[in-house]
């Protein structure tokens, strides 16, 4: 399918400036041309009128547990450890492949609705999640979460290895993999060694949770005499390449350590706020040169999977805690949500930008709604003023996967009803 979007306000995110009246040509999954009115469309291309719309690369959700849509809102207002031990883990123990497939499908559609074209995930039943990624049309960087305190951890690690094999054979190429020891506090050193060796054999990074709460940070210092970041360094995880979720409680040495190459941090502001975990030192990490993306975390801890709200909260929290309105400006947030997020997830070259030759992962966003008028500053308007349902078109690998709330070839009401029914049954059984 070829597409030609005309007259759109383009934010290419490739280092070049925004362009108010741009033409974008898409053919065979890639952006083939970006230019002005004179740009020629291939014969037979569908022409999309972009007037009044903004185009930017698809948003990248750097940390999720997508099937947790089934547990949306469950255990609200509990602190992290009680929330996990009393509510989430008992419920998750009852999930089967079909439940996870249904929850993941709902989560993938929710993300596409809000303009997310790629996400990183960590969970169990990863075959079912890979099915949902293939069916929905999104890109997924999946990993099998390994809880080393459970006796089945070697089997979980083997499932992680099988997931890497499946990713290499993904018919669409949209499924890739990482290896995911869950966290320092759930994985003894021997499990870390096995996981790191596997990641190195497979040539993929480690995806893990780091220093989410103060209790975790203090517990790690008691267990190992060092901070969680330093622990990861000592076991060799950082050298293997890492995607690190949360990083809320860091000392100055941790911040410098995380600025090294091959390390990316997923900042998850809504989850950190809702679970009372704290506010990550995003400004310090950026100043040190760390690569940062934005993540939603699972819907059980954030309630929704869109990124626009995350961007706003990320900005507000940094500005408020630092008493500095200039902290974490909107242009930086837009880069974190697109180009930087794509690098954090090691997506194919060019993802996170709209440029000739790049994979066509992009969105069109309504920019003339009541709540967006007048647009006195296009970037601020986009970051502080966009809602999920302002996204009118989501394109992944050159294919339209969401258009004005509909998903071509997918009955989204049926997907939602199936997930809701499975959630009800699950919570009755816990
Ligand atoms: Zn998480």
In this predicted structure, the answer to whether residue 158 has a pLDDT above a threshold of 90 is yes
The CATH architecture assigned to 59-344 reads: Alpha-Beta Barrel (3.20)
Work out the number of other CB atoms within 10 angstroms of the CB of residue 39: 15
Sign of CA dihedral 311, 314, 315, 317: positive
How far does residue 363's CA lie from ligand 1's centre (Å)?
A: 26
pLDDT in tens, 270-325: 999 998 999 999 999 999 999 999 999 999 888 899 999 999 999 999 999 999 99
* DSSP per position, 390-421: GEEEEEETTEEEEETTBBTTB-HHHHHHHHHH
CA of 271 to the centre of ligand 1 (A): 9
With beta carbons less than 8 A apart as the criterion, state whether 397 and 140 touch. Answer: no
Spacing, Cα 252 to ligand 1 middle (Å) = 24
Alpha carbon of 186 to ligand 1 centroid (Å): 13
pLDDT, mean of residues 81-88: 88
Give the pLDDT confidence score for residue 45 in this predicted structure.
Answer: 96
Give the start-to-end residue ranges of the domains of the chain: 3-57+354-403, 59-344
Residue 375: Cβ within 10 Å count? 15
Ligand 1: centre distance to CA 309 (Å): 18
Output the CA 397–ligand 1 centroid distance in Å: 27
CA of 121 to the centre of ligand 1 (A): 8
Distance (angstroms) between ligand 1 centre and the Cα of 65 equals 6
| Alpha carbon of 275 to ligand 1 centroid (Å) | 12
* Cα 338 to middle of ligand 1, angstroms: 20
What is the model's pLDDT at position 79? Answer: 80
Q: How far is the CA of 322 from the centre of ligand 1 (A)?
A: 26
CATH number of 3-57+354-403: 2.30.40.10
CA 139/CA 161 separation, integer angstroms: 19
* Ligand 1 centroid from CA 259, angstroms: 21
CA distance 327 to 318: 6
Instruction: Strands of 58-169 (E only): list them.
Output: 59-64, 116-121, 139-142, 145-146
Residue 83: predicted pLDDT? 86
317 alpha carbon to ligand 1 midpoint, in Å? 20
Ligand 1 mean position to 63 CA, how many Å?
A: 6
pLDDT in tens, 224-275: 999 999 999 999 999 999 999 999 999 999 999 999 999 999 999 999 999 8
> Percentage of the chain with pLDDT > 90?
94
At 80 the pLDDT is 78
CA of 412 to the centre of ligand 1 (A): 26
Q: What is the CA(10)–ligand 1 centre distance, in A?
A: 33
Backbone phi, psi, residue 314, to 5°: -55, -45
Ligand 1 center to residue 300 CA distance, Å?
Answer: 10
The end-to-end CA distance of the chain, in Å, is: 47
Distance 285 CA to ligand 1 centre (A): 20
Q: Which residues surround ligand 1, an ion (CB under 5 A)?
A: 297
CA 37 to centroid of ligand 1, rounded, Å: 45
State the distance from the centre of ligand 1 to the C-alpha of 327, rounded, in angstroms: 25
pLDDT by residue (tens digit) across 162-189?
999 999 999 999 999 999 999 999 999 9
- What separation in Å is there between the alpha carbon of 295 and the centre of ligand 1? 9
């Amino acid at each position: 399918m070829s597409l030609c979007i005309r007259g759109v306000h383009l934010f290419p995110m490739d280092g070049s400036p925004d362009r108010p009246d741009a033409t974008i040509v898409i053919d065979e999954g890639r952006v083939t041309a970006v230019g002005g009115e004179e740009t020629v469309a291939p014969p037979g291309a569908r022409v999309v009128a972009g007037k009044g719309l903004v185009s930017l690369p698809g948003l990248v959700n750097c940390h999720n547990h997508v099937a947790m849509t089934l547990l949306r809102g469950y255990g609200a207002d509990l602190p992290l450890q009680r929330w996990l031990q009393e509510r989430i883990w008992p419920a998750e123990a009852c999930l089967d492949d079909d439940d996870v497939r249904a929850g993941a499908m709902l989560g993938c559609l929710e993300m596409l609705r809000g303009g997310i074209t790629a996400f990183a995930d960590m969970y169990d039943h990863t075959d079912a999640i890979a099915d949902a990624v293939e069916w929905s049309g999104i890109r997924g960087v999946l990993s099998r979460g390994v809880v080393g305190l459970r006796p089945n951890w070697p089997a979980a690690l083997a499932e992680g290895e099988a997931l890497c094999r499946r990713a290499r054979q993904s018919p669409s190429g949209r499924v890739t993999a990482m290896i995911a020891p869950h966290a320092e506090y759930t994985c003894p050193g021997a499990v870390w060694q096995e996981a790191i060796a596997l990641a190195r054999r497979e040539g993929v990074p480690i995806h893990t949770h780091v220093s989410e709460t103060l209790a975790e940070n203090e517990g790690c210092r008691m267990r190992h005499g060092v901070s969680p970041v330093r622990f990861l360094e000592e076991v060799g995880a950082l050298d293997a390449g890492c995607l690190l979720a949360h990083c809320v409680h860091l000392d100055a040495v941790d911040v410098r350590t995380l600025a090294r190459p091959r390390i990316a941090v997923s900042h998850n502001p809504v989850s950190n706020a809702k679970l009372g975990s704290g506010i990550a030192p995003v400004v310090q990490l950026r100043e040190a040169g760390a690569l940062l993306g934005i993540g939603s975390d699972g819907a059980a801890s954030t309630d929704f999977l869109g990124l626009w709200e995350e961007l706003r909260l990320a900005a507000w929290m940094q500005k408020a805690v630092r008493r500095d309105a200039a902290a974490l400006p909107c242009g930086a947030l837009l880069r974190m949500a697109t180009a930087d997020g794509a690098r954090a997830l090691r997506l194919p070259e060019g993802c996170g930008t709209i440029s000739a030759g790049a994979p066509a992962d992009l969105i069109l966003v309504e920019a003339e709604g009541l709540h967006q008028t007048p647009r006195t500053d296009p970037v601020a308007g986009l970051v502080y003023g966009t809602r999920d349902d302002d996204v009118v078109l989501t394109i992944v690998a050159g294919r339209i996967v969401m258009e004005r709330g509909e998903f071509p070839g997918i009955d989204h009401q049926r997907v939602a009803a199936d997930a809701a029914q499975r959630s009800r049954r699950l919570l009755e059984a816990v």
